[in-house]
Amino acid sequence: MNHLLRMLDLSTDEITQILNLADQLKYELKHGIEHKLLAGKTLGMIFQKASTRTRVSFEVGMYQLGGYALFLSANDLQIGRGEPVEDTARVLSRYLDGIMIRTFEQAEVEALAKHGSIPIINGLTDISHPCQVLADLLTIREMKGRFDGLKMCYIGDGNNMANSLIVGGLKVGMQVSAACPAGYEPLVNEDPFVKGNKAYSFCNDPMEAAKGADVVITDVWASMGQESEAAKRREAFQGYQVNKELMAAANGDAMVLHCLPAHRGEEIAADVFEAHASEIFEEAENRLHAQKAVMVLLMGEKKA
């Protein structure tokens, strides 16, 4: 593993390696055991999309690992004024030990990896969110103790979260179902790894998708940059709320995850959110541990 660009790029063994190291680092942190595995290392964090969890978790993670995180907004960089991304990649590679970028286009992340000489971590693009999904998988394994025999169900917009969750779930051996309105299907449905995979099912009926689910996951109906579509999307997504009726179709001990921020009363009912808040906020915390594992594996002197 030289970069973290998409879940599709990770093998099952690499995902397991990340999750195992995340478990170890989480245990050590909880027990006051320092792990300065990136002492003297510097991570550049490029933000073309605003963030709460991504910025805080990467900054805190680098501090706990003994390194330094440098916040770089689009306004701080010449890339925001027309400098080609390939030039930015080559310059930053001479200053930094790694780059995390949260942006719109996946092609920009891929270009940084192609033209730079340091590890690139995708903090989010319009079509992929691998860091969040690694945290989700970590949470599922913690709370369920396994992946085998579990069914993961995604309800809502076929966005970056849907794309990455479907792939991540399949890679670790879960059954995966997804339900999205017509016209809002996940792009990954057409990927050769997903298309025709017997462990994956897609439909437009959320109740059908939720049947027998052990894990139910949703996300906002209008993602960052889609604010102008919010009213249209609220209409299109009627019936796609994770609520008590939908949870009744899932297994009785099903857990609920949400990458946050959550719009209670839209994609998830307030009572369901609060009933599963412990899972959702453990998921949020696990961004820190999963990303620390990724940074150590990519930027550390010794591969864990």
Q: Tokens 């025709």 map to which residue?
A: 196
Is 170 known as a binding-site position?
Answer: no
Distance CA 104, CA 277 (A): 29
Q: Tokens 């701080």 map to which residue?
A: 76
Is 54 known as a binding-site position?
Answer: yes
Is 141 known as a binding-site position?
Answer: no
Is 90 known as a binding-site position?
Answer: no
DSSP annotation of 268 reads B
Is 260 known as a binding-site position?
Answer: yes
Out of 219, 258, 276, 289, pick the active-site residue.
Answer: 219
- Burial class (CB within 10 angstroms; exposed 0-12, middle 13-18, buried 19+) of 4: buried
Q: Determine whether 233 is an active site residue.
A: no
Q: Tokens 């396994």 map to which residue?
A: 146
Q: Determine whether 141 is an active site residue.
A: no
Is 287 known as a binding-site position?
Answer: yes
Q: Determine whether 259 is an active site residue.
A: yes
Out of 48, 64, 132, 175, pick the active-site residue.
Answer: 132
Distance CA 150, CA 155 (A): 16
Is 2 known as a binding-site position?
Answer: no
Q: Determine whether 102 is an active site residue.
A: yes
Out of 102, 141, 276, 289, pick the active-site residue.
Answer: 102
Nearest Cα residue to 251 out of 145, 169, 179, 152:
152
Q: Determine whether 129 is an active site residue.
A: yes
Cα torsion 192, 159, 19, 301: sign: positive
Out of 3, 6, 129, 233, pick the active-site residue.
Answer: 129
Cβ–Cβ < 8 Å for 161, 129: yes
Q: Determine whether 48 is an active site residue.
A: no
Out of 6, 141, 258, 287, pick the active-site residue.
Answer: 287
Out of 136, 259, 289, 291, pick the active-site residue.
Answer: 259
Q: At what angle do helices 160-171 and 130-144 cross, to 10 degrees?
A: 50
Is 88 known as a binding-site position?
Answer: no
Is 175 known as a binding-site position?
Answer: no
Known binding-site residue numbers for L-ornithine: 160, 219, 223-224
Q: What are the residue numbers of the active site?
A: 102, 129, 132, 219, 259, 287
Known binding-site residue numbers for carbamoyl phosphate: 51-54, 78, 102, 129-132, 259-260, 287
Known binding-site residue numbers: 51-54, 78, 102, 129-132, 160, 219, 223-224, 259-260, 287
